[in-house]
Structure 1
Amino acid sequence: MWSSNFYYVIVGGGLAGLQLALEFSRDLFFKGKSIAIIDPNLNNQGDKTWCFWEKGAGKWDDIVTKNWEKAKFISSTTNKTLELSPYTYKMIRSVDFYTKVKKELEATGDFHFIEDEITTIDPVRMIAEGRKRGYTATHFFDSRISSEYLEDPKSSKIFQHFKGWVIETEKPQFDRSVFTMMDYRLKFKESTSFTYVLPLSENKALVEFTFFTPFLTEEAVYDEYLKNYIEHILKIENYKITESEMGVIPMTDYPFHSESIPEITKIGTGGSWVKGSTGYSFKHTEKKVAQIIENIHAGKAPSKDLIKNRFGWYDGIFLDVLKENNDLGEDIFSKFYTKNTPQEIFKYLDEETSLSEEIKIMISLFHPVFIKSFFRKTF
């Protein structure tokens, strides 16, 4: 098998791989270095949306589809409006992200997009072996997910899985100034399941039915609940579906990042960059990428200090509770959103809190089942 030589090889052309490549391209330290982005399918489509919160203006504002300064949390007993300031909740369509990043990377001449599937990376020979050829480099950034995590008995794991419809209505139906973070008025039996609504205009919204469960389900189930929510909760009779998206995100405290070695840095989901308790990844990716760049400049291993272990432990306890008591999700999230401010919640989920602030959050969520999960995850 013949090989191609690069300074860096990035395995995976998704969110993590492209954010990392973009930051390499904007830093003079990496100017002139040949970098490969290798993925089995580089024809990324606009098949998903990413949402995140941040304070003030951000580096992605030119491709933000919509943003909101207010949110709703709705349960069977609560209907609360959350004032997010100084945070803003922002939505980006994946097609806009892919288009922006690829255009900028291609203009440099340093980046090479290669369609191939990497099967193994040999750290001794410093070669990534693909189905078409081999690729040598001084370092590899690998977003592939370890197949071992599903069988690991020590880690907690559930799935965030969802289907969403972008719907358009004949008459104005939506308040475009406020989105719905979670609405539990319609739930799948004995599960943590809810509806998420992003109004794009008065006549258009993304409506998504979402599960946080140990099991997956058939597509017809999502369709049934979406239809019921739109027609019976939102009370919209006349609408058309213009777009659809589906996804499955692993929610786990499996230590993917522990598989990083001096020659290979695990990134993205495969590097524990997805927040285990929520499935959010966009801003976490931005932070991890900045840390990698800082590490390289300082002559450190790229993977140094990327993961804060105590937050992985918190997530593990929470995920264990949902795995063993999945029907408690509404109660736990109701406490989360009614006993804490949005600013406290976002700071905690961004992993920027002090120990005292974290204890306050934990006390607010308390339920006896957390004690069992605490001992299962600690000893």
Structure 2
Amino acid sequence: MLNTGFHYVIVGAGCAGLQLALALAEETQATNKKIALIDKRRPRENDKTWSFWEAGVGKWDSILSSSYSYAFFKAPNTKLKLKLTPYTYKSLNAADFYNYSFEKLKAYPHVIFIEEEVVGIQENRKKAIVTTALCSYHCSHVFDSRIPAAFYNQNRYLKIQQHFKGIRVKTKNPVFNTQAFTMMDYRLSYPNSTSFMYVLPYSPNEALIEFTFFSPFTVKESVYDQYNKDYLKNYLNTTDFEILETETGNIPMSNYPFHKHHTSRITKIGTGGGWVKPSSGYSFKNTEKKVKHIIKNIQKDRFPSYGLYSKKYNFYDTIFLKVLHDNNHLGPWLFTQFYTKNSVPTMFRFLDEESRFKEEFKIMRSLFSWAFIKAFFQTRF
């Protein structure tokens, strides 16, 4: 019979759930505290690509699908080739991450994966209770990756949607420059929006190309298809290609206070915890940092959620989101200013929430505009 008592329960076996499960498994190995990882199914599909930048050797290097030392940024009248040193831009496939994580978890007998759908979580002074369609599990603490229902049922906070469709293509002729990936290409853009092409080349004949929006609205799937096709034809000069894989997504970029859903026995994690960086949409490396912070809190006998939220960077992100929300057509100009007037280390430290005030001031000055002034005075610190 399955043991229903655990020290920790992690709800969701995605990016955040698996990273946390690996870290908690290692942290609790000596004490043998039981951990349950619960999801309605074990993820196996190569349904997304995670990318991030970091300096030096990283913990995921063995499963990377690609890495780059240079990045292109392109816009009308602008073409930059950015040297990323001391950083490297790294990408990995979801299927490789899932397989790697579950294989590593096999080494920890005190960690169990439960393939059930969570329908509710309750708590009292002594424990938390996680209920699935089949059973109830009690524990000392729950890490919950589900997005709070309240997020969808409110209009008070800003919500920009990072929505996209990517296709991994193989072309007959060599058309991709493998020296660098394309961070953003605004030469092809949907009218009156912040939309761009993102390109990860794997070889001269193979790449992931992804038409992406940062917008308060969504579009029909046919729009992504048409823009991906147009980019291949008009900017890469090819119509002879094979689609190997597709990936779609819609990631919330929001100043919603996810941290207010933390309690003494429940910590929200992943997208449900606000771990997607609101101003960039990146989450993988941010998740690694948040997980490390949670482990440190546990070691110091503090609430796991202590210090996970930065008021200062939420203020900066809110200004940026406000501009994109009210003036979505300004996105290409804003990102052009961002990339042309700041060094790579300054930009990455800022997006990693590791910058100094002098760097933050320089970035804000580079984005100086009436829209930013207005957003600044409409945002509470």
Q: Is the 8 A contact 2:294 2:304 kept in 1?
A: yes
Q: Could you tell me which amino acid in structure 2 is paired with residue 218 of structure 1?
A: K
SS at match of 2:263: coil
Normalising by structure 1, report the TM-score.
Answer: 0.97
Q: Is the 8 A contact 2:63 2:97 kept in 1?
A: yes
Q: Could you tell me which amino acid in structure 2 is paired with residue 289 of structure 1?
A: V
Number of positions where the alignment pairs a residue of Structure 1 with one of Structure 2: 378
Report the equivalent of 1:219: 221
Report the equivalent of 2:8: 8
Question: Which one of 203, 215, 220 corresponds to residue 201 of structure 1?
Answer: 203
Q: Could you tell me which amino acid in structure 2 is paired with residue 60 of structure 1?
A: W
SS at match of 2:19: helix
Please list the CA deviations of residues 170-213 of structure 1 after superposition, one character each: whole Å capped at 9, or x if unmatched: 22211212110000111111100000001001111100000001
Alignment of 1:240-259 (within 5 A): 240-259=242-261
Asked if 1:284 corresponds to 2:286, the answer is: yes
Q: Is the 8 A contact 2:44 2:99 kept in 1?
A: no
Cα distance in 1, alignment partners of residues 146 and 246 from structure 2: 26
Q: Could you tell me which amino acid in structure 2 is paired with residue 55 of structure 1?
A: A
Please list the CA deviations of residues 2-32 of structure 1 after superposition, one character each: whole Å capped at 9, or x if unmatched: 9811111001110001000101222355642
1:106 CA drift (Å): 1.9
SS at match of 1:95: helix
Long gaps (5+) in structure 1: none
Report the equivalent of 1:234: 236
1:38 CA drift (Å): 0.8
Cα distance in 1, alignment partners of residues 9 and 296 from structure 2: 18
Q: Could you tell me which amino acid in structure 2 is paired with residue 108 of structure 1?
A: Y
Cα distance in 2, alignment partners of residues 95 and 30 from structure 1: 30
Report the equivalent of 2:34: 34
Cα distance in 2, alignment partners of residues 7 and 277 from structure 1: 35
SS at match of 2:164: strand
1:42 CA drift (Å): 1.7
Please list the CA deviations of residues 87-112 of structure 1 after superposition, one character each: whole Å capped at 9, or x if unmatched: 00000101000000101112221211
1:229 CA drift (Å): 0.6
Cα distance in 2, alignment partners of residues 313 and 189 from structure 1: 29
Aligned CA-pair RMSD: 1.4
Cα distance in 1, alignment partners of residues 378 and 133 from structure 2: 42
1:149 CA drift (Å): 1.7
Long gaps (5+) in structure 2: none
Asked if 1:272 corresponds to 2:274, the answer is: yes
More displaced, 151-160 or 296-305? Answer: 151-160
More displaced, 124-133 or 238-247? Answer: 124-133
Cα distance in 1, alignment partners of residues 109 and 96 from structure 2: 21
Q: Could you tell me which amino acid in structure 2 is paired with residue 9 of structure 1?
A: V
User: Against the structure 1 CA distance between its residues 357 and 30, is the aligned structure 2 distance closer, same or farther, given a 3 Å change threshold?
Assistant: farther
Q: Percent of counterpart pairs with the same letter? A: 48
Q: Is the 8 A contact 1:24 1:30 kept in 2?
A: no
Report the equivalent of 1:89: 89
Cα distance in 2, alignment partners of residues 244 and 209 from structure 1: 12
Report the equivalent of 1:20: 20
Q: Could you tell me which amino acid in structure 1 is paired with residue 186 of structure 2?
A: Y
Cα distance in 1, alignment partners of residues 178 and 278 from structure 2: 29
Question: Which one of 184, 187, 193 corresponds to residue 186 of structure 2?
Answer: 184
Report the equivalent of 2:43: 43
Report the equivalent of 1:374: 376
Question: Which one of 314, 321, 327 corresponds to residue 329 of structure 2?
Answer: 327
Q: Could you tell me which amino acid in structure 1 is paired with residue 59 of structure 2?
A: K
1:370 CA drift (Å): 1.3
Cα distance in 2, alignment partners of residues 274 and 129 from structure 1: 27
Q: Is the 8 A contact 1:3 1:136 kept in 2?
A: no
Please list the CA deviations of residues 344-379 of structure 1 after superposition, one character each: whole Å capped at 9, or x if unmatched: 110100000112211111110111011221222228
More displaced, 337-346 or 37-46? Answer: 37-46
